[in-house]
Chain A
Amino acid sequence: GAGVSQSPSNKVTEKGKDVELRCDPISGHTALYWYRQSLGQGLEFLIYFQGNSAPDKSGLPSDRFSAERTGGSVSTLTIQRTQQEDSAVYLCASSLVGTSVYNEQFFGPGTRLTVL
């Protein structure tokens, strides 16, 4: 398909385990974003990648969260030592980058993470 894909669609894990969430952006999109959607916090920005530039990690909630983007394409969000408050839907988005403030972000279907 031509859209943003994420895997797995659902992930159930036990507290204290590490999890990896994957995002495959739209081909040709140089910008990639991770957001978290939870009941208490709404939609929160986590991290942003643009080409080979250093990522903007300003939204990561703790040092248990990390992300990488390999080859300027696929990204993996890793949560170490998961806690119950990490339960949420993790959304990935990608976009073209230009000078205009208009910059539509295309979202994937999300990964629903449940920490027991």
Chain B
Amino acid sequence: AQKITQTQPGMFVQEKEAVTLDCTYDTSDQSYGLFWYKQPSSGEMIFLIYQGSYDEQNATEGRYSLNFQKARKSANLVISASQLGDSAMYFCAMRIQGAQKLVFGQGTRLTINP
């Protein structure tokens, strides 16, 4: 079975600082994908970034990057130059090859202070 662990229930960061949200995963499958979603207070889930297990380079999307350390089974999200609008819940999720469902972590609530 797959499992996603997010050990930071809450994070507080000053605006313009970089922030790292931790995610570790557990699977015996070799082919899988890792996803990060943002959930603002409005409730919708917004896709941020994806990393495939065979991708050799870390994924980047604008201010978001994924620090993928396969041997340690970690997929941390890095947000550079944080903004007030980054305040939200952040979920790490995994999907293994052949399965369709996403398995989510418990989430991290990020608060950006002005």
A residues within 8 Å of B by Cβ? 31, 33, 35, 42-45, 48, 50, 56, 59, 89, 91, 93, 97, 101-110, 112
Q: Whole-angstrom distance between the alpha carbons of A105 and B102 in the complex?
A: 9
- The answer for the CA separation of A77 and B43 in the assembled complex, in Å, is 19
A35 CA / B38 CA spacing, docked (Å): 16
In the assembled complex, the CB of B2 is this many whole angstroms from the nearest CB of chain A, namely: 11
By a beta-carbon cutoff of 8 Å, the part of chain B in contact with chain A is 31-33, 35, 37, 42-45, 47, 50, 52-53, 91, 93, 95-97, 100-107
Once bound together, how far apart are the Cα atoms of A103 and B47, in whole Å?
A: 11
Set of chain A residues within 8 Å of B43, measured between Cβ atoms: 89, 109-110, 112
Q: Which residues of A contact B104 (CB under 8 A)?
A: 42-44
Instruction: Write out the residue numbers on chain B whose beta carbons fall within 8 Å of the beta carbon of A33.
Output: 100-102
A104 near B45: Cβ-Cβ < 8 Å: no
Chain A contacts for B42, CB-based, 8 A: 109
A-B contact pairs, 16 of them (CB 8 A): A33-B100, A33-B101, A35-B102, A42-B106, A45-B102, A45-B103, A48-B101, A56-B100, A56-B101, A101-B53, A101-B97, A102-B33, A103-B33, A103-B95, A104-B50, A108-B44
Separation of A35 and B102 alpha carbons in the complex (Å): 9
> Chain B residues with Cβ under 8 A from A45's Cβ?
101-103
Kindly provide the distance from the CB of B90 to the nearest chain A CB, expressed in whole angstroms: 12
| Complexed CA–CA distance, A6 and B97 (Å) | 28
In angstroms, Cα B4 to Cα A45, docked, is 14
